[in-house]
Chain A
Amino acid sequence: MALKLTETWEQALLTAIAQMATQSNFDGFLGRTALQKILYFLQISGVPMKYRFDLYHYGPYCDLISRDVEWLLADGVLKDESTNPIKYSNYRTSDEADELLEIHRKDLEMYKTIIDTVVKALLPLKPDHLEMLATIDYVYRYIRAGGGEGPWKKRVIDRFMQVKKDKFQYS
């Protein structure tokens, strides 16, 4: 058994996302922001995970994901193919990925359709696009939880613009 640091379901999910990028020869970047937002959308699509997302500057974020990526890199499950890793990351699966995926094969198969759909839809998007979508969704759910009645669109956009200031334009 080559794995020394990783075994959890959440780590297998991260690996499954990176594997889709690897196997499809995806030539874009799968970095820190993309992983965060893809996992966010997987969670709201019904894939169970222990990650909890709070709203930070770049949208919904969970620091445990960053730590899990660190373990996956150290364990040889993921590799960072970025040429400038301090500035950005570009994750793909490495030698030990199959061993981790095998541990959770049954559960991964159970959620395969959701994982495939979400990852295929989001992988080609740029980080700021993902940030925008995830933040809009987060803001919408947050406002809905506060009670009251719709329509929600204007309130969501107002709040979104308040959070993101001039980073995005609404037209």
Chain B
Amino acid sequence: MEESFKSVEQLSDQPLGKARQLVRVAALLHDIGHCCFSHAAEEVIQKDSDHESLTVIVLTQPDLFGDLLNRLFFPGCSDLAAKIIRLKGLPPQLQVLRDIVSGQVDADRTDYLLRDSHHCGVDYGLFDFRRMIECLTLRQDPVGLGGLEIAIHRDGIHTFEALILARYQMNTQVYYHRLRRIYDLYLKEYFKARGKVDFDAPQKVLQYNDVTMLATIMQDANGSGAPSQPWAKRIRDRVHHRLVFESDEDTGAAQIKRMKLAFERIQSENEDVNFLWDLAQVSIHKLLLPDDKEEGDFVQFYVIDRDGREDLIGERSPILRKIPRWFQVFRIFADLGHDQKPLLQEIADKCKEYARA
């Protein structure tokens, strides 16, 4: 590993020490370009500037973090950290650092699953991360370009399974839960209604955090007739649309098209009710499994035995073979209160019928 890092010019004098600094910087700062409420405000920030682009701007611009990182750590640190995040132009020798920051077993997921689980007060998302880290190892990648890749010792198979299961459960039960999704829709509408002016420059994005934005939402809810006010009021008063239709967790593209048509039909039949639709989709894992017909788009993650034998993790884990790769759910929400239960039920029944048609 040392030899590999040494060939990168900026790391050549202290390869391991600088690589360690670099991976820490990239892991800690990889989401620094996120707006308040993470992805909710992303649609209103300037064109082509998703949170990752903003992260790169923050890391490399001299007056933001660029000079600071190069001075505190080593010259070229900010540029290499940005390349780890953006991938573009990343020296192949540093691919393994990228995998630690963002890969199948990465620091990001290991951190946020446990943290979110704790703060949401749920028991989903827990796994023995210390054991998993102990069991991680490296292997030479014979398929790629001769770099190193992360693998797991066979004693870590079960905790790796627990990580993937944690990801599945947190996505289905927390991140893509119907109530979280409806408030996410309100946040997006709220930000759209406020316009791009809050986020049209990196400095402005950095000015806001969740707390300052919550205070702004409270103010707007009390305001007088601004386009953002209805959304702010919904968030403040917790007056939300009700779920009237939810598809299975693995709904395919053709079925989703049918459900969108069902949405339009139910909307035209109930013009006095406001409806919203939502498509929640997330990848749970991308591991290559024994039944895959095409190798093209799957990650080959290896288990290393005590005798050095290497197997794809999908061959060794019956549990991973059963966990769905994708979570894809279509939902329809109606703006109806608890006092309109019969209508709510009637609409729910019709949605089911139309979605099947």
Between B87, B143, B252, B261, the greatest number of chain A beta carbons within 10 A of the residue's beta carbon is seen for B143
Between A57, A63, A146, A159, the greatest number of chain B beta carbons within 10 A of the residue's beta carbon is seen for A146
Count of interface residues, chain A, beta-carbon cutoff 8 Å: 30
For window 46-104 of A, CB contacts with B under 8 Å fall at: 48, 52, 55-58, 61-63, 66, 70-71, 73-75, 86
Between B7, B8, B9, B145, the greatest number of chain A beta carbons within 10 A of the residue's beta carbon is seen for B145
Known: A5-B257, A159-B145. A146 touches B296 (CB 8 A): no
- The reply on A148 being an interface residue by CB < 8 A is yes
Residues of A within 8 A of B145 (CB): 55, 139, 142-143, 159, 162-163
A-B contact count (CB 8 A): 71
- Does A56 lie within 8 Å of B257, measured CB to CB? no
Residue of A nearest to B91 (CB): A146
Residues of B within 8 A of A154 (CB): none
Residues of B within 8 A of A55 (CB): 143-145
- Does A162 lie within 8 Å of B146, measured CB to CB? yes
Between B7, B142, B252, B297, the greatest number of chain A beta carbons within 10 A of the residue's beta carbon is seen for B297
- The reply on A4 being an interface residue by CB < 8 A is yes
Residues of A within 8 A of B298 (CB): 56
- Does B286 lie within 8 Å of A143, measured CB to CB? no
Known: A74-B254, A75-B257, A146-B91. A63 touches B286 (CB 8 A): yes
- The reply on B240 being an interface residue by CB < 8 A is no
For window 246-305 of B, CB contacts with A under 8 Å fall at: 252-254, 256-257, 260-261, 286, 293, 295-298
- The reply on B339 being an interface residue by CB < 8 A is no
- The reply on A121 being an interface residue by CB < 8 A is no
- The reply on A145 being an interface residue by CB < 8 A is yes
- Does A143 lie within 8 Å of B257, measured CB to CB? no
- Does A5 lie within 8 Å of B253, measured CB to CB? yes
